[in-house]
Amino acid sequence: MKVIHLILGKANPERMNGVNKVVHALATQQHRAGWNVEVWGITADVTSNYPAREFSTRLFRAQRNPFQLAKELIAALASEFEQAVVHLHGGFVPAYYAAARQLNTLSIPYVVTPHGSYGAQAMRKNGLVKRLYLRLCESYLLRNAAQIHCLGLSEVLGVQQLHSSLRTCLLPYGFELPALETIHPSVEKPEVFRVGFCGRLDENHKGLHCLITGFGEFARQHPSAELWLIGDGPDRARVERWSAEVPAGTVKVLGSRYGEDKLALLRQLNVFAHTSYYEGLPTAVLEAAALGLPCVVTEATNLGSYVRQFACGQVLAEAQPAQLTHSLEQLYQQWCSTSPAHVSQRSREMVAKAFAWPSLLHEYNQMYQQAYYA
């Protein structure tokens, strides 16, 4: 059995795109485990302009009509007849509707991971268009999927609200811990208390107004505090305007950073904050926790239960500035009174135990096997 991940893009981890990062990590781990796995990308630019990788990648040109597939992609799918399970990543993608039609004709089973697309907040954005598309196209894709792979409880609930009979599988993805020597923990506590965020600057998705406003109120009591925003996106101008209005503290909008440059910034933080309105499972939080940072997350990140279980941060019921201010104060007091090494250990323990690839790959294999032999 072959597993084919079909995505929009090239699974380039050095892009501000969480889905591509997840697929890159998943395919890498599956390849290392000896799986027959490939990534197929639909993209406007079919040049292989990405870092070297361990798994095989095939690129197919996106068509002017988004409901059409390249002839080469149709032929490639036909060549996998009775050999593969296809894993679609994302929701409300016209090319996936076309792919689902083709896969159904070929009797090739497929799995869909929505990556947060069906959450209540996500569905409200362009809601009328999405409801119409759901009725005409997306419902076909979901009804005929062998499994709808949900990364967190909010996704399960979102899918069930669409239709209670849809087949769901709740399974997070894993994360590989960096070696301890790469973390470079501070021996002494600095005078500045740094809060950080890393991700796409998209207010409707990431709750950035809550983040900046809640931090601003916290900084009134702690003027030396700083908020570092790593990333770029459609709302950068709004983020910069909100940042300039913070009456106390310093907000730095640092733009997109990748690789060691990004990690060097994350290592200087004391707390990582992710105030999203909806998510599948944000890789940025796991990356920060793997570096030993305590995290503030909303329930909508699907990470709240893990953060509570391992006592490695604070969980907001929803993205509200007052809740964030209170949580930052709690973590600041903890930072003042607790050994940084102790807090760091709990964060890394969460990643090591709850998101260990070896055990999760076994469950992924079961999901694909069930789809293949259904």
Range of the domain at 82: 2-174+356-373
The residues of the chain scoring below 50 in pLDDT are 186-187
Residues 363 and 346 in one domain: no
- Structurally, how many domains does the chain consist of? 2
Residues 256 and 340 in one domain: yes
Residues 90 and 158 in one domain: yes
269-306: per-residue pLDDT in tens? 999 999 999 999 999 999 999 999 999 999 999 999 99
- pLDDT in the model for residue 240: 96
Residues 22 and 138 in one domain: yes
Residue 14's closest CA among 42, 49, 38, 55? 49
- pLDDT in the model for residue 343: 81
- pLDDT in the model for residue 161: 87
Residues 156 and 212 in one domain: no
Residues 144 and 197 in one domain: no
| pTM, to two decimals | 0.89
Residues 159 and 38 in one domain: yes
- pLDDT in the model for residue 190: 63
The most distant pair of C-alpha atoms in the chain lies apart, rounded to whole Å, by 64
What is the spatial distance between Cα 30 and Cα 161, in angstroms, rounded to a whole number? 32
Q: Are 90 and 114 in contact (CB under 8 A)?
A: yes
Residues 191 and 314 in one domain: yes
What is the spatial distance between Cα 16 and Cα 201, in angstroms, rounded to a whole number? 10
Neighbours of 140 (CB within 10 A): 15
Distances (CA, A) of 285 to 1, 18, 197, 204, 226: 33, 11, 9, 18, 19
Residues 25 and 76 in one domain: yes
Residues near 99 by beta carbon (within 8 Å), at least 6 away in sequence: 6, 69, 73, 77, 86, 88, 110
Residues 368 and 328 in one domain: no
Structure tokens at 256: 């997109």
227-236: per-residue pLDDT in tens? 999 999 999 9
What is the spatial distance between Cα 86 and Cα 96, in angstroms, rounded to a whole number? 11
3-state SS class at 226: strand
**Which CATH number belongs to the domain containing residue 229 in this structure?**
3.40.50.2000
What is the spatial distance between Cα 294 and Cα 307, in angstroms, rounded to a whole number? 9
Amino acid, res. 29 = Q
Cross-strand pairs, 195: 227, 271
Residues 165 and 196 in one domain: no
Residues 106 and 249 in one domain: no
Structure tokens at 336: 């003042």
